[in-house]
Structure 1
Amino acid sequence: MRIVAVLAVEGAVGLELAGACQVFAAAYDPISGEPLYDVRVCGSSAGTTVRAHRLEIFRAQAPYRFEDALDADTLIVPASYTASAEVLATVREAHRRGIRIAAICTGAFTLAAAGLLDGRPAATHWAHAEELARRYPKVEVATDVLYLDDGDLLTSAGVTAGLDLCLHLVRQDHGSAVAATVARRLVMAPHRDGGQAQFLTAPAIAGEGSLEPVMRWMQEHLTEPLTLASIAGHASMSTRTLSRQFRAQTGSTPLQWVIRLRISRAQELLETTDLTIDQIATASGFGSPLLLRQHFTKALATTPTAYRRTFAPIG
């Protein structure tokens, strides 16, 4: 039986703490019916405050101490911005001993603070990726993945991506059949590939700038065959001036901005309607399913059909 230690770090997100435990605790040998993991929650003798986002929901006492985590085969590090000296020492020693370490969400900050991610790739929640890169410039921050497996160190985006990461570890340890059974027990997707992008936001209309009117016009005419020349003509600018101002105001080109808008429209339709892929391609301005697939897959590392399966409402 493999031992999984989940660190009850101060301020841990309840769903990450309990979710990791639930994934491993739900894994059973298909023949004997015996549990495949001994799951141990390890924390400080002073107890741990557990939260939901910024709301403190309760304070708990872990049944194991941090030092007990060093007996584990796998160490799970939930979200934390500022790890205690005791947590950092535990993580460093676990790594020295060759224990597999997986960090969920801002748990990557703990691994980085411990010096384990220098020169290595790491994922975290999209909202904190920039801060991780700023604080720890030696870390190769990946901003467009659900989770990242770098052998002995694994990292993931927030909360539910942490469940995907834990399920990935079960699949790695015991195969796809056991992982699929765990997923069915927890009513979650049996496999979301780690390379799938976390999400893609619709580009914002730049405030009261010189391009605000033309940006709104582009948004309102998304299904039309917009070209650089037609956009520049509407803005009464040369294509060179439009491109320069657009880059300065948005960090993007006009046509890249249009593609982002169209992908965002396609995401919305995939999530909220039962339109066919052909219809969505037309309604989002791509015109053909092939172009929709090409741009969608390039931006989100998943297909429109796979995206719908994951995000469309049930029923």
Structure 2
Amino acid sequence: MPNDPRIQPKQPRAVELLAFPQVQILDVTGPLQVFATANDIAGGTMPAYAIHVVSQAGGAVTSSSGIGLLAHPLPPHGSALDTLIVAGGPGIEAAAADEALVDWVRLRANQARRFASVCTGAVLLATSGVLDGRRAATHWSLCAELARRFPSVRVQPDPIFVHDGPAWTSAGVTAGIDLALALVEEDLGRTVALAVARYLVVFLKRPGGQAQFSAALALQDDGRFDALHGWIGANLSGDLSLPRLARQAGMSERSFSRHFLEATGQTPARAIETLRVEAARSLLLDSQLPVKRVARRCGFGSEETMRRGFLRLLAATPQEYRARFGS
């Protein structure tokens, strides 16, 4: 393949979508439809992509929803390949336990110009070793487990998708559409990718800068702290110290810290930082306020404190974040 993926190749770019029993059907059909629509929109004397759903045995593959997919057998390692995409789903653990399939994924990924996973498909890529030393995304519910099982993989819990060298990994289910749109943009340019997104009635880049879910959603619990979360959201620029939060919750500091962590999975300090970063993200995208004013309005105290929070949670400075996702 040429070094510049936007140079029209002599043949359609071969894309293989790996399926397996109990695959999540949207992990397959979402990216599949993006590439198919790109073929329709890009036009030309030949399609931009030659797309194949493949599986170990070929033939019918039953998805987790009960809908069957028709798949080609696994291609031999010498056949042409541009992009390998591994889907996710409830059957991913059985797929990752199959040594022959893992070996095929490893060899095929190393042959491809790029390789990708959707949702929990990152487990199969990680098992094959091709994500070692790389940043990767997966479904939010699996991030901690993936990081524990594969310490050499630098799991990123927040983004919709992550691009690190030839590796592209996405978050849960419909994030495969976001990832496929990014691949089309890399290959065919923003104009084509935007046209595909418009035709499919989806965002080329989701509002909110690609976060998997809001901080408020991540903090949902059994209801014990609903009122407190509402109060925090209305007072981000005020005093949100541990003593103040404990008083607002009507608990001792020690009891509050323990119960809050138990209910939300986060310490109060990390939760406050996450909520402030989310509020700052919105202001950076939806206003022209200087970064220093955004930091004050969201309660960071200083621009440097906000910068450290952004780097820790989003792996980007506020300025980089605005430049990338702002209008």
Q: With the length of structure 1 as denominator, give the TM-score of the two structures.
A: 0.71
Q: Which amino acid aligns with 1:75?
A: L
Match of 1:45 among 43, 51, 58: 58
Distance 1:106 1:13, change over 3 A: same
Say whether residues 1:291 and 2:297 are aligned partners. Answer: yes
Distance 1:221 1:123, change over 3 A: closer
After the TM superposition, which of the residue ranges 254-263 and 106-115 deviates more from structure 2? 254-263
Match of 2:108? 94
Following superposition, the deviation at residue 226 of structure 1 comes to 4.7
- Partner SS for 2:132: coil
Following superposition, the deviation at residue 159 of structure 1 comes to 1.5
5+ residue gaps, structure 2, are: 1-11, 288-293, 301-305
Match of 1:61 among 60, 67, 70: 70
Following superposition, the deviation at residue 152 of structure 1 comes to 1.2
Match of 2:20? 9
Following superposition, the deviation at residue 154 of structure 1 comes to 1.1
5+ residue gaps, structure 1, are: 271-276, 279-287, 310-315
Q: Which amino acid aligns with 2:81?
A: A
Following superposition, the deviation at residue 195 of structure 1 comes to 6.4
Q: Deviations over 1:41-68 (max 9, x none)?
A: 112236322123xxxx133331x21125
Distance 1:230 1:117, change over 3 A: closer
- Equivalent positions of 1:170-185 (< 5 A) are 170-185=184-199
Alignment partners' CA distance in 2, 1:235 and 1:184 = 46
RMSD: 4.0
Following superposition, the deviation at residue 248 of structure 1 comes to 3.8
Q: Which amino acid aligns with 1:151?
A: G
Alignment partners' CA distance in 1, 2:171 and 2:81 = 23
Which of these two proteins has the greater Rg computed from alpha carbons?
1
Match of 1:111? 125
After the TM superposition, which of the residue ranges 76-85 and 118-127 deviates more from structure 2? 76-85
Q: Which amino acid aligns with 1:37?
A: Y
Distance 1:246 1:16, change over 3 A: same
Distance 1:68 1:185, change over 3 A: farther
Match of 1:163 among 159, 163, 177: 177
Alignment partners' CA distance in 2, 1:219 and 1:97 = 49
Distance 1:205 1:15, change over 3 A: closer
Following superposition, the deviation at residue 118 of structure 1 comes to 1.9
Alignment partners' CA distance in 2, 1:220 and 1:185 = 38
Distance 1:194 1:41, change over 3 A: farther
Following superposition, the deviation at residue 187 of structure 1 comes to 1.4
Alignment partners' CA distance in 2, 1:22 and 1:235 = 48
Q: Which amino acid aligns with 2:44?
A: S
Alignment partners' CA distance in 2, 1:89 and 1:265 = 44
Match of 1:72 among 74, 81, 98: 81
- Partner SS for 1:196: coil
Match of 1:203 among 196, 204, 219: 219
Alignment partners' CA distance in 2, 1:265 and 1:139 = 29
Alignment partners' CA distance in 2, 1:61 and 1:233 = 60
Identity of aligned residues (%): 35
Say whether residues 1:126 and 2:134 are aligned partners. Answer: no
Question: Where do 4+ consecutive residues of structure 1 move more than 6 Å?
Answer: 261-267, 299-303
Equivalent residue pairs, number: 275
| Alignment check: 8 A CA contact 1:219 1:261 kept | no
Q: With the length of structure 2 as denominator, give the TM-score of the two structures.
A: 0.69
Following superposition, the deviation at residue 145 of structure 1 comes to 0.8
Alignment partners' CA distance in 1, 2:35 and 2:249 = 57
Following superposition, the deviation at residue 293 of structure 1 comes to 10
| Alignment check: 8 A CA contact 2:139 2:172 kept | yes
- Equivalent positions of 1:262-301 (< 5 A) are 291-292=297-298, 298=310
Q: Deviations over 1:153-180 (max 9, x none)?
A: 1111011111111111111111111111
